[in-house]
Chain A
Amino acid sequence: DQQVKQNSPSLSVQEGRISILNCDYTNSMFDYFLWYKKYPAEGPTFLISISSIKDKNEDGRFTVFLNKSAKHLSLHIVPSQPGDSAVYFCAALTGANNLFFGTGTRLTVIP
């Protein structure tokens, strides 16, 4: 059973606008969350993370929000740029060091 879910397989956004990628999880034991970005023919690269004791973490144009009560996190990209077009995976980590990935969302930023 998928413990980390990304229900939107794809998302298209105009350049300069906000991109919001969503992720839901089912396991309340997850204590660390991460977002990875993947370009074609490359491995995923780490983007941003958040500890379960926080509700927001910001790094430049990227902000991750965590709503523990709803078991939901989201990645905001503002402003979106064509170079942000990629597949984005959210991931969640348990204290036992098991890392679970979502199915990914393909973001297309239209110039």
Chain B
Amino acid sequence: EAQVTQNPRYLITVTGKKLTVTCSQNMNHEYMSWYRQDPGLGLRQIYYSMNVEVTDKGDVPEGYKVSRKEKRNFPLILESPSPNQTSLYFCASSLDRNNEKLFFGSGTQLSVL
């Protein structure tokens, strides 16, 4: 089954404790991206990647890192999480840069205390 898999689904952590949210897709997609969803703000892009070893900042990249060492994986790293990073995070992928038919993962609800 074609899918984007994020883990974990829920995560509670404390300020400053490094964490990684994993994202994997099995569709051989070139394009992958991370979004956060916050009430009243919709979905905002954090980082995106056009292909292996190519990553770029989105709308709200501060406090986040990403890497794209393999085509299928695009982990999101929070080196020193802060409470304002409490949010619902979505990973997405698509075949190419046009973003049509983005496939989203089921989301990761992160709470930073």
**A residues adjacent to B (C-beta < 8 A):** 2, 4, 6, 32, 34, 36, 41-46, 49, 89, 91, 93, 97-104
Contact = CB atoms under 8 A, between A and B. Distances in A.
A89 B100 contact: no
B75 to A, nearest CB: 17
Given A32-B100, A101-B35, A41 B106 contact: yes
A70 B50 CA distance: 32
B105 A97 contact: no
Given A34-B100, A43-B4, A97-B50, A103 B106 contact: no
B104 A43 contact: yes
B81 interface: no
Interface residues of B, number: 26
B101 A46 contact: yes
A107 B4 CA distance: 25
Interface of B: 4, 33, 35, 40-45, 48, 50, 58-59, 90, 92, 97-107
A93 B101 CA distance: 12
B59 A98 contact: yes
Contacts of A44: 43, 90, 102, 104
